[in-house]
Amino acid sequence: MKRQVTAGLMLACTTLLGAFTLSAEARTLRYAIGHPPSSFVVDVAKEYAGAVESLSDGDLKVRVFPMSLLNFAETSGGVRDGMADIGFVLTSYFASEFPHSNVAVEASMLVGLLGDKVRGREGMVFMGALSEYTFFNCPECNREFARQGQVYTGSTGGSSYGLVCNRPVESEADLRGMRLRVGASNWSRWAEAVGASPVTMSANEMFEALSQGVVGCIVLAAPEIHNFGLTDVVKHITMDVPGGPMPIAGTNINTRTWKSLSPAQRTVMLRAASVFSAGVPWIYHQHEDRILSEAEDRGVTLHKADAALIEKTHAFVEQDMATIAEDYRRRYGVQNGAELITTFRALLDKWAGLVQDVDSEEALADLYWSEIFSKVDVNQHGL
């Protein structure tokens, strides 16, 4: 997938090049991402690599290793230990290592309470808010990354999660007793709240679990049907619940690698990270309707959740904010969870307004850059 570099990106490139001393040979950074090569996320990772090379005039390059160098469960430790220079880190997989970070990550279902004004833009709103929150409003988050030998350079993630199933779901009664594969604790609690049983398993096991009836549904974003090769086993889809995207620290950099870069090179990595942070939610939202339409053409039935299930889900989300704060206080010693969630909710409202006029991936990347990434002090951050 090829896209033109934005005018803003080219301007940043021109500005940054004057700060470089050309090297005889480009330095190549290894980027580990747990998605399969055919994934939309890998397409965006290649754009990120291209942005790094363009912005640095070839002084820096990124080699993308999809699903080969490190899997999702190995990525955090692998970046820490220098097996990769950059990693796609799902902090939700590592609750004890990133508790302050995960307070906001687990609050992802909040975006569903913003209503129609963010429909089809949930990921764009959430990733802007989460990046701003982590860079500038959560020093504890950055200390957590530092303890794991990583430097945070932005969050990303796709569209909101729904129910990808082998049986129809429209009401709470349909969910009662059903086993649901979930990928994060907030969806696990929602499953229990509606009478279902949450099941944790690796992404590699989803196809077999759904095809053999081990689970009735997978809580998943629609484009992941393509990314994880689930096309042939999905028979029913309900996207109204539970809602919320899966946020990721998409381009965390090994601390030693980050410190070895010049300030101009760190700026390049942040500018490229803004491209990546924007690219994933944009491509997911662009493909969401197509994936659902193609599924319907194959005979998959698309369902609407009834009003009672949606109302119960919204009530659960409000109640779950207190649960998250107390759970992280009790288990991980996070004393300011309620305050962090309040701060984050205000940023969600802010970003719900900021993305309203965004009409392209390039415009979203430029917005992220101007509002967030360009304000990071490369002489202080991660050092």
- What phi, psi does 250 have (nearest 5°)? -75, -25
pLDDT digit string, tens, across residues 62-95:
999 998 899 989 999 999 999 999 999 999 889 8
* pLDDT at residue 377, rounded to an integer: 97
Q: Which of 80, 66, 79 is nearest to 33 (CA)?
A: 66
pLDDT for 202 equals 76
User: pLDDT at position 163, please?
Assistant: 96
Cβ proximity of 381 and 258 under 8 Å: no
Nearest to 205 by CA among 196, 214, 197: 214
Q: What CATH number was assigned to the domain covering residues 7-159+246-293+335-375?
A: 3.40.190.170
203-230 pLDDT, tens per residue? 778 888 898 899 999 999 998 888 888 8
Structure confidence at residue 39 (pLDDT):
87
Structure confidence at residue 23 (pLDDT):
44
Do the domains spanning 7-159+246-293+335-375 and 161-243+295-317 agree at the CATH topology level? yes
Predicted confidence (pLDDT) at residue 20 exceeds the cutoff of 90 = no
Least confident of 9-23, 173-187, 297-311: 9-23
Domain ranges of the chain: 7-159+246-293+335-375, 161-243+295-317
pLDDT of residue 351: 97
Residue 18 has pLDDT above 70, yes or no: no
- pLDDT band at 148, cuts 50/70/90? very high
- Answer yes or no: is pLDDT of 12 > 70: no
pLDDT, one tens digit per residue, over 132-145 is 999 999 999 999 99
Contacts of 44 (CB under 8 A, 6+ apart): 276, 279, 280, 283
**CATH match for 161-243+295-317 among 3.40.190.10, 3.30.2090.10, 3.90.1150.10, 1.10.3720.10:** 3.40.190.10
Whether 21 shows a pLDDT value over 70: the answer reads no
Q: What is the dihedral of CA 344, 98, 322, 202, to 10 degrees?
A: 110
Here the tokens at position 249 are 């620290």
Residue 371: partners with Cβ closer than 8 Å, 6 or more residues away = 128, 132, 354
What pLDDT sits at residue 14?
Answer: 44
Averaged pLDDT for residues 303-324: 96
pLDDT per residue as tens digits for the range 227-264 = 888 888 999 999 999 999 999 999 999 999 999 999 99
Contact between 334 and 343 (Cβ < 8 Å): no
Q: pLDDT tens-digit profile of 110-134?
A: 999 998 889 889 999 999 999 999 9
Global pTM? 0.88
Peptide bond into 281 cis (omega under 30): no
> What single letter denotes the amino acid at residue 245?
P
Q: What is the mean pLDDT of residues 340-366?
A: 96
